[in-house]
Amino acid sequence: MAASKKEEFKTEDIWLADIAKALSHPARIRILKILTEMNVCMCGDIVELLPLSQSTVSQHLKELKRVDLIQGDIDGPKVCYCVNNKTLLKAKKELDKLFNQVCAC
Amino acid sequence: MAASKKEEFKTEDIWLADIAKALSHPARIRILKILTEMNVCMCGDIVELLPLSQSTVSQHLKELKRVDLIQGDIDGPKVCYCVNNKTLLKAKKELDKLFNQVCAC
DNA sequence: TTCTCTCATCGTATATTTACGATGAACGAT
DNA sequence: ATCGTTCATCGTAAATATACGATGAGAGAA
C-alpha cells in the first residue's frame, strides 16, 4: 500500500477494527476457546492441538496479547496463558453496540 | 508465508474469522454505520465521507460484499448499497456464542 | 555446572492487504 | 451518436500477515 490511513478514523472504530483483526484467523479463535476449556494453558499444550509450529503459535499468541485479549503469566520456564475477561467483556459490549446500530434486529 | 493453513480449522471458526477479517479495518466499520444511517447509499456518497479514494472505497465495499455483510443493487449507472440483515444477524449470533463460550460474563 | 524443557524472537520466504491513479464498462441524458 | 456520471477493475507499489526452522534466553533438575 501507500501509507496506512487507519489512524484517520475515530478511536472507537479503530479499536473495534483492531479487536476484529485479532479475531481474523481461525487459529486465534481456536486458541481463545482452548484457553477457556483448559485449566493449564501452556504454549506447548496449544501447539499440540493446532496444525501449526511452535513459532507460529507463539506469533498468534503475541497478536492476541497485543490487543490484550489474553495474558501470559510466567511460571518458571513455562508461561501460563489465560483469557483476559476485562477486554473480552469490553469487546463483547462494543460489538453488541455496533450490531445494534447497524442491524435491524 | 508458506501456504496458508486456515482451511485446516473447523468451518465454524473459519467463518467467524472471515467475518472478523471483513470488520478488521476502521473504514469498513465506518461504511457499515454509514449504510445504516443513510437511506440513499451510493458509493460516491461514501467516498465523500471517508479520507480514501474512490477505488480504495470500492475495494473495501468488495471485501464487505465477499462475506455477504452488504449487498449492492444496480440502479442505472449507480449502485445502491445496503447492509445485509440476514448475515449481520448470523454474525451477531455467532459472535455472541463465541463470547459466551470464552468469556466469564 | 550442565542438561533439559519451555518459549520468544530472528531471519526468511511468500501471500495478502491497503492504497492510488488510470482505464474502461454501463447507463441516462443531450 | 456523444457526453457526463458512476463505479469496478487493472496495474502497481509498499506494508503487513502467515508460516517455518534455527537460535537463544531463562528456569529448574541432575
Q: Is B20 on the interface with A (CB under 8 A)?
A: yes
pLDDT tens sequence across A8-33: 999 999 999 999 999 999 999 999 99
Q: Do the Cβ atoms of B17 and A32 come within 8 Å?
A: no
Taking the CA of residue A59 and the nearest CA in chain B, the distance in Å comes to: 13
Angle between helices B26-37 and A85-102 (to 10 degrees): 40
pLDDT in tens, chain B (105 residues): 567 899 999 999 999 999 999 999 999 999 999 999 986 689 999 999 999 999 999 999 999 999 999 999 998 889 999 999 999 999 999 999 999 998 876
Domain boundaries, chain A: 11-98
Only one residue has cell 467516498, namely B47
The 3-class SS string of chain B reads: CCCCCHHHCCHHHHHHHHHHHHCCCHHHHHHHHHHHHCCCCEHHHHHHHCCCCHHHHHHHHHHHHHCCCEEEEEECCEEEEEECHHHHHHHHHHHHHHHHHHCCC
**pLDDT exceeds 60 at position A1:** no
Q: Is A5 on the interface with B (CB under 8 A)?
A: yes
- Supply the CATH classification number for the domain A11-98: 1.10.10.10
**Residues B11-99, CATH architecture:** Orthogonal Bundle (1.10)
Taking the CA of residue A48 and the nearest CA in chain B, the distance in Å comes to: 14
pLDDT tens sequence across A79-94: 999 999 999 999 999 9
Contact yes or no for B34/B49 (Cβ under 8 A): yes
